[in-house]
C-alpha cells in the first residue's frame, strides 16, 4: 500500500478499503470504537451524501458482527429474525425506514440488550413525519455528525484511489483536483475513474492538463 505522508490517522475497514480518520469523522470513529459501552441502546450518525457514513456503518458491522439493513427495506415481517440475529443492527438510510417497523425493531433490541446504529442525512430529532414514540426514543440517542471531507482528507482519499489503480501522478495534481471538485468521497471515486478511463482511451498520463480537460467536459 502506498504510504500517505499526510497527518491523518489510518485504519483498515474490515473486509473493505482503507478508512482514513480525520477531523470530519473522528467523533464518529471514537463512538464506534467505544461500542458496546454506549450510554444508550442506539447511536445515530448523520451527514450529507458522500461524507463517509455508509463506510462507517460497514466498519461497525464488521466490528460488532451486526446485521446491515437498508432503511427502505425494513419490514415488519423481518423483525423477529433481525432482533435475534446478534448484538447489533446497522440501519443505513434510517430516515427512509417505515416508522412503525423501526419503532418495533428498537423496542425489541432494547428488550434483548442489543444495540442499533442508524445513519441518515439529518439527526433523528429533525426527521419529519415520524411517530411520537419513535421520535422520543431516537432523539434521546447520541447523534454524531460526520462532516464532508476537508482538503487533507479528500487529498488522501484521492492519493489512495490513484494508488489502488496503480496510476502514477505528479505532486501538483492532488491540490488541483481538491480545489475544483465536489467535496465527497463519491465524487472522488467517480473523478478518479473518469481520469483513468480518459488516460487509457487517449494514451496519455494522468496530469493536470488531462484533469482540466476531463473537468471541462463534465
Q: Tens of pLDDT along 137-164? A: 999 999 999 999 999 999 999 999 999 8
The tens digit of pLDDT for each residue in 59-92 reads 999 889 999 999 999 998 988 888 777 789 999 9
pLDDT for 18 equals 62
Residue with cell 447511536: 43
- The yes or no reply on domain 25-145 and CATH 3.40.50.300 is yes
Per-residue model confidence (pLDDT) at position 44: 98
Res 41: pLDDT: 95
Domains 25-145 and 151-217 share a fold: no
Confidence (pLDDT) at 14: 39
Q: Which of 15-29, 61-75, 112-126, 178-192 has the lowest average pLDDT? A: 15-29
**Which CATH number applies to 151-217: 2.40.128.640, 3.40.47.10, 1.10.8.60, 1.10.3720.10?**
1.10.8.60
In contact, 54 and 83? CB cutoff 8 Å: no
> Is 50 exceeded by the pLDDT of residue 13?
no
d(CA 17, CA 11): 10
What pTM, to 2 d.p., does this model score? 0.81
Domain spans of the chain, in order of start: 25-145, 151-217
Q: Is 19 helix (H, G, I), strand (E, B) or coil?
A: strand
Q: Which residue carries 501522478 as its cell?
A: 169
Percent of the chain with pLDDT over 70: 92
Q: Is the pLDDT of residue 57 over 50?
A: yes
Which secondary structure element, helix H or strand E, spans residue 145, and what is its range? strand 143-145
Burial state string for 169-203 with b = 16 or more CB within 10 A and e = fewer than 16: beeebbebbbeebebbbebbbebbeebbebbeeee
Q: Distance (Å, rounded) from C-alpha 184 to C-alpha 92? A: 18
Amino acid at each position: 500500500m502506498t504510504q500517505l505522508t499526510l497527518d491523518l490517522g489510518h485504519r483498515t475497514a474490515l473486509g473493505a478499503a482503507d478508512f482514513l480518520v480525520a477531523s470530519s469523522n473522528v467523533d464518529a470513529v471514537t463512538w464506534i470504537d467505544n461500542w458496546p459501552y454506549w450510554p444508550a441502546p442506539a447511536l445515530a450518525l448523520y451527514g450529507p451524501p458522500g461524507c463517509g457514513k455508509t463506510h462507517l456503518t460497514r466498519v461497525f458491522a464488521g466490528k460488532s458482527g451486526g446485521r446491515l439493513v437498508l432503511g427502505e427495506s425494513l419490514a415488519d415481517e423481518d423483525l423477529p429474525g433481525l432482533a435475534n440475529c446478534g448484538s447489533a443492527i446497522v440501519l443505513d438510510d434510517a430516515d427512509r425506514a417505515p416508522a412503525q417497523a423501526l419503532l418495533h425493531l428498537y423496542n425489541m433490541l432494547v428488550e434483548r440488550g442489543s444495540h442499533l446504529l442508524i445513519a441518515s442525512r439529518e439527526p433523528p430529532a429533525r426527521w419529519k413525519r415520524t411517530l411520537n414514540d419513535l421520535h422520543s426514543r431516537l432523539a434521546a440517542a447520541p447523534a454524531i455528525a460526520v462532516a464532508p471531507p476537508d482538503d487533507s482528507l479528500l487529498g488522501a482519499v484521492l492519493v489512495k484511489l490513484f494508488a489502488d489503480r496503480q496510476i502514477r501522478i505528479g505532486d501538483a495534481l492532488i491540490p488541483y483536483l481538491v480545489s475544483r471538485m465536489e467535496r465527497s468521497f463519491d465524487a472522488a471515486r467517480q473523478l478518479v475513474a473518469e481520469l483513468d478511463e480518459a488516460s487509457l482511451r487517449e494514451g496519455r498520463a494522468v496530469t493536470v492538463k488531462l484533469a482540466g480537460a476531463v473537468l471541462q467536459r463534465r
